[in-house]
Amino acid sequence: MSAAAGHLRVEGLRIATRRHGQPLELVRGIDLDIRRGQVTALVGASGSGKSLTCLALQGLMPPGVECLDGRVLLDGREVAPATLRGRQVATVMQAPRSAFNPVLTMAAHARETLAARGITGSDAERRILAALAETGLAEPERVLRLHAFQMSGGMLQRMMLALALMSEAPFLLADEPTTDLDLVLQAQVLALIERLAVSRDLGVLLVTHDMGVVARLADHVAVMDHGRIVETGTAADIFASPRAAPTRALVAAHLALYPEEEVAP
């Protein structure tokens, strides 16, 4: 394999749909950087364009939505984003169930992920068990026989992370990975992402609307509002001196909930 990339960037991303016959821009020309060894949080109100941005980074667009413009760069070189999936970029999504093929077992998903990298046989089996252990999936032999519908949301998120590890992709896109989980599982999955990001030196894009998660995990923050990035900075800067109105609103809402918390992470 070639040397792992260290910098994933999207530049001038514009995404649009048509509403009532008129073009409507949903993402209005954004730039975003994800660097290895750092967690970049993409925050903003619901509908601000975070998930579409994540999808564009994977070369995916939902039906009825079109990517008008934008380049994805890997270490400064333009690449077709669809070629990054599973190789350079792994993902964890809000609704993990939909990321799994309902007729395949977890073992089949895992083997497929490794086969894409030319790893099969006993080497594959060894790596599968190691990844499941690393993500805290107990009883791996049993888990590997399950289908997605037989697993809880928390187990599926762990399995997504295990597949991300098997892919050895240097970048992880996590789109609201804990939204559908209960509080205990949220904390566990976040701790897991944090640990894996450090141990594997991943570049993580963490989409969230939870500033508590930002305070805990993020190095850098980009704030999105109505399809634009209205503020970027270190997490410490964003909490200490938010400038844009949407950032101030997010920080104020967080501090209203957790007034006793330290403002700087």
Q: From the list ligand ADP, Mg ion, none, which binds 47 (C-beta under 5 to 8 Å, kind-based)? A: ligand ADP
Q: Looking at beta carbons only, is 36 or 50 nearer to Mg ion? A: 50
Residue 151 structure tokens:
């697993």
Task: Out of 13, 41, 49, 132, name the contact with ligand ADP by CB under 6 A.
Answer: 49
Residues 154-173 binding Mg ion (CB under 5 A) are none
Minimum CB–partner distance for residue 128 and ligand ADP (Å): 31
In Å, what is the CA distance from 103 to each residue of 14, 124, 129? 35, 21, 21
Give the dihedral of Cα atoms 56, 210, 169, 93; nearest 10 deg.
-60
Residue 29 structure tokens:
């020309």
In Å, what is the CA distance from 160 to each residue of 10, 91, 224? 24, 7, 26
Q: Looking at beta carbons only, is 52 or 131 nearer to ligand ADP? A: 52
Query: How many residues sit close enough to ligand ADP to count as binding (CB under 6 A)?
Result: 14
Tell me the C-alpha distance between 8 and 2, whole Å. 16
Q: Does 105 bind Mg ion (CB under 5 A)?
A: no
Pairing of β 7-19 and β 39-43: unpaired
User: What residues have CB less than 8 Å from 202, skipping those under 6 apart?
Assistant: 36, 37, 170, 171, 172, 196
Helical H runs in the chain?
50-57, 106-115, 121-134, 140-144, 153-167, 183-199, 211-217, 235-240, 245-257
Q: Residues 50-89: x/- map of binding to ligand ADP (CB under 6 A)?
A: xxx---------xxxx------------------------
Tell me the C-alpha distance between 206 and 189, whole Å. 12
Q: Residues 24-63: x/- map of binding to Mg ion (CB under 5 A)?
A: --------------------------xx------------
Residue 189 structure tokens:
């999955």
Q: Looking at beta carbons only, is 134 or 225 nearer to ligand ADP? A: 225
Minimum CB–partner distance for residue 203 and ligand ADP (Å): 20
Q: From the list Mg ion, ligand ADP, none, which binds 154 (C-beta under 5 to 8 Å, kind-based)? A: none
Task: Out of 2, 3, 20, 46, name the contact with ligand ADP by CB under 6 A.
Answer: 46
Residues 134-153 binding ligand ADP (CB under 6 A) are none
Whether residue 98 contacts residue 144, with contact meaning beta carbons closer than 8 Å, is answered with no
Minimum CB–partner distance for residue 48 and ligand ADP (Å): 4
Residue type at 213?
V
Sign of the torsion formed by the C-alpha atoms of 10, 8, 112 and 82: positive
Task: Out of 5, 8, 40, 48, name the contact with ligand ADP by CB under 6 A.
Answer: 48
Q: Looking at beta carbons only, is 49 or 246 nearer to ligand ADP? A: 49
Minimum CB–partner distance for residue 259 and ligand ADP (Å): 27
Q: Does 179 bind Mg ion (CB under 5 A)?
A: no
Whether residue 90 contacts residue 163, with contact meaning beta carbons closer than 8 Å, is answered with yes
Residues that bind Mg ion (CB under 5 A): 50-51
Q: Which residues bind ligand ADP (CB under 6 A)?
A: 17, 26, 44, 46-52, 62-65
